[in-house]
């Protein structure tokens, strides 16, 4: 029987930070199946550091963006714990960008009333932080990483999470653990167009739900307003910090349109900007709007956003000279597995933190650059709780073999997972986008339910079937939650138009 003290599923900022905050006498196993979104983070980390700023102002901005439906205790915890976690990152060696007087530089982003987003490597905050933390993980003797491993099921005994079923190298295996941490990130890749890494499909949320974990707020999918369609690849994010330093949004006729929509104009909360772009795109029948930086200096933009500059330059676009075509795409998952402020779920010994978790901290719409902070603050809390509740006891005995239902052998034929995934992406994009209609949501539900029923009987025949089943299930969680709730924040339902 394979066992570990702490099993952390996910190697992004949330999972990594939990691991690094645990003592070295614990045996820790981490696992991952795709690259993390954490490495992609551009804008930075929101924290109120300046004398003229305050925790209260950051809290107010978070609540305003979230439409005051946030869990206020979670918001206070997030913001008031920020200085300690940034201090820890600095002690670990993260170098945040500084001005000539060696003060940390901070930028304005959408929905913030003060420039408070600190960054590293210009627009490569995620990469700068993660490369350093990954090195620490790799040099820790008590931490092993199972790369290319996919979580398939949680093993639960009397409301207590005791292990998992996972696939690695084509075989299905069981691993038992005293504490299990879900740090599996979001579900942007359930959509055809996303800023997320391929593989960010959120199936771990469905897996947790099947095991009895409570989930909430699945309808709140945040679309980022400004993604650029790379010539050779998918969508590439242009950070909100670009608008924070003064970039405008123009419609197809080269007119600014945010002036009429919100007092903060281009720096309104994300859901508002995305919906405004959606409306412009719908009315002009152009597939994008433009990000205009022509009034800003190329040299400054190149120094401040080196990675974005390089990426656009490869496509022949120069910041400060050319208009950049942008469009909103799926970006951040607000809902997920319900946890308290220590990352505890309703199942004993099962924790969740980072994007997969739902503490209620973001309300109906996440404030820009609050999510890396969420990984740090709640990741630290999870580690603290594990440490204070770890007893060196044997795992509870479990009489059923979790592999019993599986009929899979390496030679079993499968219906292709990628075909199912493409179909799900089409449904989510068409029917569950920025603007939703009840009739479209019902259509999505019936398509997904039909596919789920087809796969139900063959779910354990092949890894592909199990993975497809989980993907359909998490998509259905989004659709059903959207159907059950009225419009708010980034869940925008329009009045039914005739003919739809």
Which of 270, 304, 344, 436 is an active site residue? 270
Q: How far is the CB of 406 from ligand FAD (least distance, A)?
A: 16
Q: How far is the CB of 235 from ligand FAD (least distance, A)?
A: 9
Three-class SS of residue 140?
coil
Closest CA to 216 of 331, 70, 358, 362: 358
In the bound state with ligand FAD, the residue whose beta carbon lies nearer, of 151 and 455, is 151
Give phi and psi for 63, each to the nearest 5: -70, -40
In the bound state with ligand FAD, the residue whose beta carbon lies nearer, of 126 and 269, is 126
Give phi and psi for 303, each to the nearest 5: -75, -40
Q: How far is the CB of 233 from ligand FAD (least distance, A)?
A: 13
Residue nearest to ligand FAD (CB): 12
Task: Please state whether beta strands 350-352 and 336-338 pair in parallel, antiparallel, or not at all (unpaired).
Answer: unpaired
In the bound state with ligand FAD, the residue whose beta carbon lies nearer, of 33 and 270, is 33
Q: How far is the CB of 134 from ligand FAD (least distance, A)?
A: 11
For residues 333 and 432, give the distance between their C-alpha atoms in angstroms, rounded to a whole number.
Answer: 13
Closest CA to 186 of 413, 371, 344: 371
In the bound state with ligand FAD, the residue whose beta carbon lies nearer, of 44 and 244, is 44
In the bound state with ligand FAD, the residue whose beta carbon lies nearer, of 143 and 441, is 143
Residues that bind ligand FAD (CB under 6 A): 9-15, 31-34, 36-38, 40-45, 125-126, 149-151, 183-185, 195-196, 200, 203-204, 237, 332, 354-356, 369-372, 375
For residues 94 and 474, give the distance between their C-alpha atoms in angstroms, rounded to a whole number.
Answer: 35
Q: With DSSP H G I counted as helix, E B as strand and the rest as coil, what are the percentages for the chain, rounded to 5?
A: 35, 20, 40
For residues 334 and 381, give the distance between their C-alpha atoms in angstroms, rounded to a whole number.
Answer: 19
Do 112 and 368 touch, CB atoms closer than 8 A? yes
Q: How far is the CB of 115 from ligand FAD (least distance, A)?
A: 14
For residues 104 and 174, give the distance between their C-alpha atoms in angstroms, rounded to a whole number.
Answer: 46
* Torsional sign, CA 219, 225, 231, 232: negative
Task: Please state whether beta strands 350-352 and 324-333 pair in parallel, antiparallel, or not at all (unpaired).
Answer: unpaired
For residues 467 and 449, give the distance between their C-alpha atoms in angstroms, rounded to a whole number.
Answer: 15
Burial class (CB in 10 A: 0-12, 13-18, 19+), 366: buried
What 8-state DSSP symbol labels residue 194?
Answer: B
In the bound state with ligand FAD, the residue whose beta carbon lies nearer, of 9 and 272, is 9
In the bound state with ligand FAD, the residue whose beta carbon lies nearer, of 335 and 447, is 335
Whether 270 is catalytic: yes
Q: How far is the CB of 47 from ligand FAD (least distance, A)?
A: 11
Do 399 and 457 touch, CB atoms closer than 8 A? no
Q: How far is the CB of 116 from ligand FAD (least distance, A)?
A: 12
For residues 208 and 186, give the distance between their C-alpha atoms in angstroms, rounded to a whole number.
Answer: 14
Do 244 and 109 touch, CB atoms closer than 8 A? yes
In the bound state with ligand FAD, the residue whose beta carbon lies nearer, of 32 and 361, is 32
Q: How far is the CB of 148 from ligand FAD (least distance, A)?
A: 9
Do 386 and 100 touch, CB atoms closer than 8 A? no
Q: How far is the CB of 268 from ligand FAD (least distance, A)?
A: 18
Closest CA to 367 of 64, 82, 116, 123: 64
In the bound state with ligand FAD, the residue whose beta carbon lies nearer, of 14 and 277, is 14
Burial class (CB in 10 A: 0-12, 13-18, 19+), 322: middle
Conformation bin of residue 32: beta by default, left when phi > 0, alpha when psi is -120 to 50 = beta
Catalytic residue numbers, as ranges: 270
């Amino acid at each position: 029987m394979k066992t570990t003290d702490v099993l952390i599923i996910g190697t992004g900022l949330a999972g990594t930070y939990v691991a690094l905050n645990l003592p070295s006498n614990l045996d820790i196993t981490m696992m991952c199946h795709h690259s993390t979104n954490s490495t992609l983070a551009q804008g930075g980390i929101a924290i109120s550091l300046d004398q003229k700023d305050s925790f209260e102002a950051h809290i107010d901005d978070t609540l305003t963006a979230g439409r005051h439906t946030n869990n206020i205790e979670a918001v206070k915890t997030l913001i008031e714990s920020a200085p300690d976690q940034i201090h820890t990152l600095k002690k670990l060696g993260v170098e945040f960008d500084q001005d000539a007087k060696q003060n940390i530089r901070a930028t304005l982003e959408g929905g913030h009333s003060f420039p408070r987003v600190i960054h590293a490597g210009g627009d490569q905050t995620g990469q700068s932080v993660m490369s350093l933390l990954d090195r620490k993980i790799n040099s820790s003797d008590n931490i092993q990483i199972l790369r290319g491993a996919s979580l398939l099921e949680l093993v639960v005994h009397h409301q207590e999470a005791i292990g998992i079923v996972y696939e690695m190298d084509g075989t299905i295996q069981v691993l038992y653990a005293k504490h299990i941490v879900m740090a599996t990130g979001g579900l942007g890749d359930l959509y055809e167009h996303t800023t997320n890494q391929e593989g960010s499909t959120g199936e771990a949320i469905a897996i947790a739900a099947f095991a009895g974990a409570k989930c909430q707020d699945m309808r709140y999918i945040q679309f980022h307003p400004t993604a650029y369609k790379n010539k050779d690849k998918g969508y590439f994010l242009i950070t909100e910090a670009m608008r924070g330093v003064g970039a405008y949004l123009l419609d197809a006729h080269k007119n600014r349109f945010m002036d009429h929509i919100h007092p903060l104009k281009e720096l309104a909360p994300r859901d508002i900007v995305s919906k405004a772009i959606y409306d412009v795109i719908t009315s002009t029948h152009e597939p994008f709007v433009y990000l205009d930086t022509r009034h800003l200096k190329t040299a400054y933009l190149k120094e401040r956003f080196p990675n974005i500059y390089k990426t656009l330059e490869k496509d022949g676009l120069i910041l400060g000279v050319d208009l950049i075509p942008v469009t909103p795409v799926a970006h951040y998952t607000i809902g997920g597995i319900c946890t308290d402020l220590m990352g505890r779920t309703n199942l004993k010994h099962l924790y969740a933190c980072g994007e997969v978790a739902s503490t209620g901290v973001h309300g109906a719409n996440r404030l820009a650059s609050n999510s890396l902070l969420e990984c740090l603050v709640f990741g630290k809390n999870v580690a603290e709780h594990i440490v204070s509740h770890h007893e060196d006891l044997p795992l509870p005995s479990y009489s059923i073999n979790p592999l019993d239902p599986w009929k899979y052998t390496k030679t079993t034929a499968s219906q292709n997972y990628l075909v199912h995934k493409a179909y799900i992406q089409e449904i989510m994009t068409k029917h569950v986008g920025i603007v939703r209609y009840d009739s479209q949501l019902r259509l999505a539900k019936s398509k997904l339910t039909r596919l789920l029923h087809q796969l139900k009987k063959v779910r354990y025949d092949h890894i592909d079937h199990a993975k497809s089943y989980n993907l359909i299930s998490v998509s259905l969680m989004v659709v059903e939650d959207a159907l059950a709730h009225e419009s708010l924040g980034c869940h925008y339902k329009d009045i039914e138009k005739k003919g739809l």
